[in-house]
Amino acid sequence: MLSWLKSLFGSESEPEANAGRTEDPKVAAAALLVETALTDGIYAEIESTRITEVLIKTFNISLEEAGDILDEAEDLAEQATGAHQFTTLVKELPIENRISFVEGLYYVTLADGEKCPFEDAFVRHVASLLHVADRDRAEARQRAEQQSLA
């Protein structure tokens, strides 16, 4: 009986339990960026381009590495059950990186040239989970708006 219970709850179900999860903060950050882009129901090429730019800037990585991370993050975002599973990893980054990342979130939301209240609410939620102060978040938004206009 005990072996049957072990087989029922054993390692065979672990891959499913880990679906939509990562241990890499870069992939987690990219998944949050993808989630942000998907919030308005549209995932355009300009958004994926901006996500790549944010990854390169935030993590000082190559274009090729950013592309690989984005591919993995897009798959994870499809399976995601919420932002918390990703913010847990990203909030371990230094505060400067988290603020820069929140700026990147806003930069992605502004890719289509429209301000969506759902995207804004999602970024506010993520910023609070990342322990980014409201003032820092607001300043990050202003920088992202200026960058989007340029």
Calpha distance 37→106 (Å, rounded): 10
Closest CA to 113 of 29, 40, 30, 31: 40
Work out the average pLDDT over 102-112.
93
Closest CA to 143 of 113, 95, 94, 110: 110
Buried b (16+ CB within 10 A) or exposed e, 54-83: bbbebbebeeeebeebbebbbbbbeebeeb
Q: Where are the alpha helices (DSSP H) in the chain?
A: 2-9, 14-17, 25-38, 45-59, 63-79, 84-90, 95-109, 117-129, 134-149
* Domains identified in the chain and CATH numbers: 24-149 (1.10.3680.10)
pTM metric for this prediction:
0.83
Whether residue 18 has pLDDT greater than 90: no
Residue 150 token pair: 């340029």
Whether residue 6 has pLDDT greater than 50: no
Note the pLDDT tens digit of each residue in 28-53: 999 999 999 988 888 889 999 999 99
Calpha distance 52→134 (Å, rounded): 25
Calpha distance 70→30 (Å, rounded): 6
**Confidence (pLDDT) at 131:** 96
| Residue 91, number of CB atoms within 10 A of its CB | 17
**Confidence (pLDDT) at 147:** 92
